[in-house]
Structure 1
Amino acid sequence: MNGAERLMLVLDAGTTSTRAMAFAPDGALRAVVQREITQHYPQPGRVEHNPEEIWQAALACAREVVSQGGGADRFAGIGITNQRETVVAWDRAKGQPLARALVWQDRRTADTCEGLRAAGHEPEVQRRTGLLLDPYFSATKMCWLIDNSGEVAAAAQAGTLALGTVESWLVFRLTGGAHISDASNASRTSLLALDGAQFDEGLCELFGVPRGALPEVVDCAGDFGATLPELFGAPIPILGLAGDQQAATIGQGCNAFGQVKATYGTGAFVLANMGGDLPASHHRLLGTVLSQLDGRRTYALEGSVFVAGSLIQWLRDSLGVIATAAETAALAASVPDSGGVVLVPALSGLGAPHWRPEARGALTGISFSTTRAHLARAALEAMSSQTRDLMEAFAADGVPWAMLRIDGGMSANDWMAQDLADILDLPVERPAFVETTALGAAMLAGLGSGWFASLEEAAAAMRGKIHRFEPAMDAPTRDVRLGRWRDALAKV
């Protein structure tokens, strides 16, 4: 490590783990420390995290990276990216969480969403926020905590309740009291109108969320305060904030209208840059804020698939079909096809473009000749099939794909990357460094620090080498695959 080199610290607070990473201005990764986050499943359809564990894991990882990097003075700033929609409730006077965090995967508010839909609220909510009525988003989770936790309700009554997504919680703890949320995360709550500067009073009233408990909405790059001196030995300014999928889109250099990326992590998330135009979908996609810089917003159209990497984790941990995720590529390649097996991974409902929270997974076409290789291949093929469904919805909404940029842990699987190119019939690009979520947060913080004058300049400096996969499947084979997928999907 160059003795004079300044670094950027990134906190990547994901669903299954939290990481701290140190980036150089050229995008080189200088250090990384990771800790897993405990998943709590108190009932079917419910997923919770301990907010104190999220904080302690982030702090421990950051301290270790700062130490490896040579101390706080070596760091120009901090960028934070996070699992979106997950809700934390805490007491702003005491600084302590009041309940477990409700994770984005949590489905407990499905009935609430159905009630709002039956009352005719969805068209207006979608028009104003870009979002559909679904338990995925934060607002109904916030209301549930107030209605079902005595401590949260008491804090609301006393006026000390703070509600926020994970980046809000981390900034609050890092700074000792700042209560902010960047526009990209705020746009995932159902409480921010896409053209509104701050959380909307009318939407808060509709969802039963006290406006006073919510953070101030800020840009994605800027000076958001500094860390408490005792945390790292000296203050480090917080300069970049973005939800994980928006950060990955920035990290992939999707800075022009129509450029699209897909991140394959716990879930799979496709975002297309829509420029400064308010996005409106007629095919069950979402409109969201991609970034806000100097008060100006860039928007994105988004398709969200709830189960991606978590499907491989399920095959490994619950079924014992594989010992490691890395096995799936070799297993898939060891058979000529899936043997007619189709896996529809609706393990926590179906996301875009179907939005069926009550749907459950299905495995079809199995026989005595089915092997674990067929199951592994069917699981990877499901990623391509789900992405194809999204591609068709994007095209119907007027955003056809010319090429897809992929990232996230699963994208390192060469077999899956080639299968995506084959099923989409499009070139697929994958950067050498696939953890573009953290890279995007570093780019935003670099913009906030003055390292870069624009996100385009940041992408040119930090993005690195690219590998390209070209489609090689003939049309009849592709059509047969897609036909089997649609038949299985119809049964779900």
Structure 2
Amino acid sequence: MSKYILAIDQSTQNTKAFLFDQRGHLVAKTSKAHQQLINEKGWISHNLEEIYEHLIDVVRELMLITQIDTRDIVAMGISNQRETAAAWSRATGRPLHYALVWQCARAAELCEDIREEYGTAIRDKTGMHLSPYFSAAKFAWMHRHIEEVQTAAAQQDLCFGTIDSWLLFRLTGGTEYRTEVSNASRTQLLNIQTLAWDAELCDWFNIPMNALPHVEESNALFGYTDIEGVLKQKIPIYTMLGDSQSALFGQGCREKGTVKATIGTGSSVMMNIGQELVIDPHGLLTSVAWTMNGITHYVLEGNINYAGAVIRWLKEDMQLVEDSAETQWLAKAAFPGDTTYLVPAFTGLGAPYWEDQAKAILCGMSRMTGRAEVVKASLDSIAYQIEDILDCIHQRVGLPKTALKVDGGVTSNEYLMQFQSNISRVDVHVPNVNELSALGAAYSAGIAAGLYPHSMKGMLHYTTFQQAISEEERQVLLNGWHEAVQLIHRPITPTLVSLQ
């Protein structure tokens, strides 16, 4: 009789449910998108009740599709969008406000208020530069501006948490108010040396510590759920992980020096740096990868704003392609000697540059530059940005580059994967499945439940791309890219010309 692991991946755009069998193979998946609530100020929110209802819906649909006996599900794991901040009532479980999505910068002014006095100390305690990107500033914004949150805090009825905590609280009927270290380390309230909420950090952000969940190991037994009666019995929730860390685990990057890049809308480039904490003062972020069985692993991470989103720009805004798959053959057909570069700083430039006010540029064009060459430059920009972060990470930890594991929908583009190998001088390994965040949560839960072996070797199969250009060619390409990046430091000032 087959046994199964249920995995939930609650991402920025969708809530997904997955069923994995006892060999670790994906049996089926379901997905449901939720609304992106964006106002005239560009603030981005999610409806917490909608997200929870969609979780119930996708699990119910998964059970209908597979027709399995739900009593054969031995455990459940959860991966989730990181940094998105939620507030709800401890007594009723009712949300007190919409969730503030990780992309939302509404707390920027609040960060500037404390940056001069506490910015350096916050970085030293948390491994991350002060930013409205992280949950702490979002919690603080709600505490400052939302009356229902203020009232709940005064009555000691306030729950602040990331999405993992919200889902756990509701799945267990309000009996479990917990989080785990990978998510907690992205709030900017956790001291990543002590792995506990930090009283000074909470004070600087004006966050009541009694409103924060208990911090657990990543593969703890978090509680039991029957998912609002969808299952015939309650099953243990054995893992919660932030989605990028979960993808790292799913890729099998469990040893020091192993690296993965998740290439989605943006990109997270992450190295497991082992049990020794490294704080980078120059823009890389340090977070907890996971704590399992008493052992904590840390990561160095760089985040890119525009990766796969560049392809969407080509399709929806520039209308240069009708389908994402076109980009591959167009890039291959481009004139090899073209010197066009795209620096996709549409919302600023992320790590390692951190140029929030930068504007995108397309430069180096000649009369030979056409549609194919612009598409090629757009794909190349993804690889160049990843290489910049890889170079910084490897220099910081003093380890040579060896291999890069990748995941995300863009990895089906063979041109891009080959170019990534060429420009980064590493073997690029593309797995046979894309849903690595769900896979990581499922594997961790399956190991904790005793269904899967501790080692995951052989559970994934890879296609490997190897460097196919000379070092001289590589340096010429990189030099051109870095010259293009330097152009964003030169502000463009429009000149008004009278036509009279």
> Which residue, out of 6, 25, 29, partners 2:26?
29
How far apart, in 2, do the equivalents of 1:426 and 1:328 lie? 23
Deviations 1:36-93 (A, max 9, x none): 2322221455322222222122221112113334142121111100111111122222
Partner of 2:119: 122
Partner of 1:424: 424
Partner of 1:151: 148
Deviations 1:303-326 (A, max 9, x none): 111222223223333443322222
How far apart, in 2, do the equivalents of 1:189 and 1:148 lie? 19
Residue 234 of structure 1: how far off its partner (Å):
2.3
- Which segment drifts farther, 15-24 or 416-425? 15-24
Residue 461 of structure 1: how far off its partner (Å):
5.1
- Paired residues of 1:251 and 1:437 also in contact (CA < 8 A): yes
Partner of 1:480: 476
Change (3 A) 1:310 1:145: farther
Task: Give the share of equivalent positions with the same residue, in percent.
Answer: 37
Gaps of 5+ in 1: none
- Which segment drifts farther, 40-49 or 14-23? 40-49
How far apart, in 2, do the equivalents of 1:488 and 1:190 lie? 33
Residue 96 of structure 1: how far off its partner (Å):
2.0
- Paired residues of 1:279 and 1:288 also in contact (CA < 8 A): no
Aligned residues: 484
- Paired residues of 2:335 and 2:373 also in contact (CA < 8 A): no
Partner of 1:88: 86
Change (3 A) 1:372 1:100: farther
- Paired residues of 1:338 and 1:378 also in contact (CA < 8 A): no
Gaps of 5+ in 2: 489-500
Deviations 1:460-488 (A, max 9, x none): 253x2111100112233322322232222
Partner of 1:435: 435
- Paired residues of 1:283 and 1:396 also in contact (CA < 8 A): no
Partner of 1:469: 465
TM-score after normalising by structure 1: 0.93
Partner of 1:292: 291
- The secondary structure found in structure 1 opposite 2:71 is helix
- The letter of the residue matching 2:21 is A
How far apart, in 2, do the equivalents of 1:155 and 1:312 lie? 44
TM-score after normalising by structure 2: 0.92
Residue 375 of structure 1: how far off its partner (Å):
2.8
- Paired residues of 2:340 and 2:362 also in contact (CA < 8 A): yes
Partner of 1:163: 160
Change (3 A) 1:159 1:320: farther
- Paired residues of 1:104 and 1:138 also in contact (CA < 8 A): yes
- The secondary structure found in structure 2 opposite 1:300 is strand
Change (3 A) 1:179 1:320: farther
How far apart, in 2, do the equivalents of 1:88 and 1:126 lie? 23
- Paired residues of 2:110 and 2:141 also in contact (CA < 8 A): no
- The letter of the residue matching 2:467 is P
Partner of 1:215: 213
- The letter of the residue matching 1:53 is E
How far apart, in 2, do the equivalents of 1:358 and 1:150 lie? 33
- Paired residues of 2:310 and 2:379 also in contact (CA < 8 A): no
Change (3 A) 1:213 1:359: farther
Residue 131 of structure 1: how far off its partner (Å):
1.0
- Which segment drifts farther, 22-31 or 155-164? 155-164
- The letter of the residue matching 1:467 is T
Change (3 A) 1:179 1:415: same
Change (3 A) 1:336 1:369: closer
Superposed counterparts of 1:202-281, under 5 Å: 202-228=200-226, 230-281=229-280
- The letter of the residue matching 1:123 is T
Partner of 1:403: 403
Partner of 2:493: none
- The secondary structure found in structure 2 opposite 1:226 is strand
Partner of 1:335: 334
- The letter of the residue matching 1:447 is I
How far apart, in 1, do the equivalents of 2:462 and 2:358 lie? 37
How far apart, in 2, do the equivalents of 1:286 and 1:60 lie? 36
How far apart, in 1, do the equivalents of 2:13 and 2:344 lie? 19
- The letter of the residue matching 2:35 is T
Deviations 1:145-174 (A, max 9, x none): 222222222222222221111111111111
- The secondary structure found in structure 2 opposite 1:406 is strand
Change (3 A) 1:130 1:153: same
Tell whether 2:378 aligns with 1:382.
no
- The letter of the residue matching 1:477 is E
- Paired residues of 1:50 and 1:100 also in contact (CA < 8 A): yes
Residue 445 of structure 1: how far off its partner (Å):
0.5
How far apart, in 2, do the equivalents of 1:163 and 1:358 lie? 31
How far apart, in 1, do the equivalents of 2:379 and 2:337 lie? 10
- Paired residues of 1:249 and 1:440 also in contact (CA < 8 A): yes
How far apart, in 2, do the equivalents of 1:123 and 1:63 lie? 47
Deviations 1:262-291 (A, max 9, x none): 110122111111111112224321111111
Over 6 Å off, 4+ runs: none
How far apart, in 2, do the equivalents of 1:277 and 1:297 lie? 9
How far apart, in 1, do the equivalents of 2:96 and 2:394 lie? 44
How far apart, in 1, do the equivalents of 2:229 and 2:222 lie? 18
How far apart, in 2, do the equivalents of 1:365 and 1:279 lie? 38
- The letter of the residue matching 1:208 is N
Residue 337 of structure 1: how far off its partner (Å):
4.3
- The secondary structure found in structure 1 opposite 2:269 is strand
Partner of 1:362: 361
- Paired residues of 1:105 and 1:348 also in contact (CA < 8 A): no
Residue 373 of structure 1: how far off its partner (Å):
2.5
How far apart, in 2, do the equivalents of 1:83 and 1:380 lie? 25
Deviations 1:398-438 (A, max 9, x none): 24321111111111211111110011011111111132111
How far apart, in 2, do the equivalents of 1:22 and 1:386 lie? 34
- The secondary structure found in structure 2 opposite 1:204 is helix
Partner of 1:41: 38
Tell whether 2:95 aligns with 1:101.
no
> Which residue, out of 7, 12, 21, partners 1:15?
12
Residue 368 of structure 1: how far off its partner (Å):
6.7
How far apart, in 2, do the equivalents of 1:335 and 1:83 lie? 37
- The secondary structure found in structure 2 opposite 1:340 is coil
- Paired residues of 1:168 and 1:181 also in contact (CA < 8 A): yes
- The letter of the residue matching 1:475 is E
